[in-house]
Amino acid sequence: MEFVLYVIALAIIVFVFVFKDRPIMVLTFEDGKLTQQKGQIPNGFLAGCKDIAHKQPFSGKVKVYKNRFTTKLVFSKSVPSKVKQRIHNVFPYSGGSKKRGRRA
C-alpha cells in the first residue's frame, strides 16, 4: 500500500514539473511603462520593448519560452497585433533554422 502512495506522489511531482508555466523571461507593461521584469533580458531587446511601449502605450505581458529547438514569444490577449509584430521584430532569438542555405 505504501508503494502505491509513493508512485502516486511521484506522478504528481512529475506532472507539476512538466506542465508548470516556466518562461525564461517575462516583461509586464501597464499603460506603456515597464512595471515588472524577470529573467536575463538582453539590453537591446529591453530597450526596444521600452521604446515600443513609449510610442504605442499598451498593457499586458510578454513571455519568452525556450526549449531545445526554438525560442518563442507569447503575448497576453490585451497586447495589440501591431505591437506584437514590432516586438517580434526587435526580438534577438528569432533566427532561421539550421538548414539555411540549402535549396531544393
Beta bridge partners of 71: 66
SS3 assignment for the chain:
CHHHHHHHHHHHHHHHHHHCCCCCEEEEEECCEEEEEECCCCHHHHHHHHHHHHHCCCCEEEEEEECCCCEEEEECCCCCHHHHHHHHHHCCCCCCCCCCCCCC
pTM of the model: 0.71
Whether pLDDT at 83 is above 60 = yes
| pLDDT, tens only, 23-42 | 899 999 999 999 999 999 99
Average pLDDT over residues 47-53: 94
Q: Give the phi and the psi of residue 12 in degrees, each rounded to 5.
A: -65, -40
Q: Does the pLDDT value for residue 20 go beyond 80?
A: no
Stretch 53-80: mean pLDDT, rounded? 92
Gap between the Cα atoms of 64 and 50, Å rounded = 16
41-45, 54-58, 89-93: range with lowest mean pLDDT:
89-93
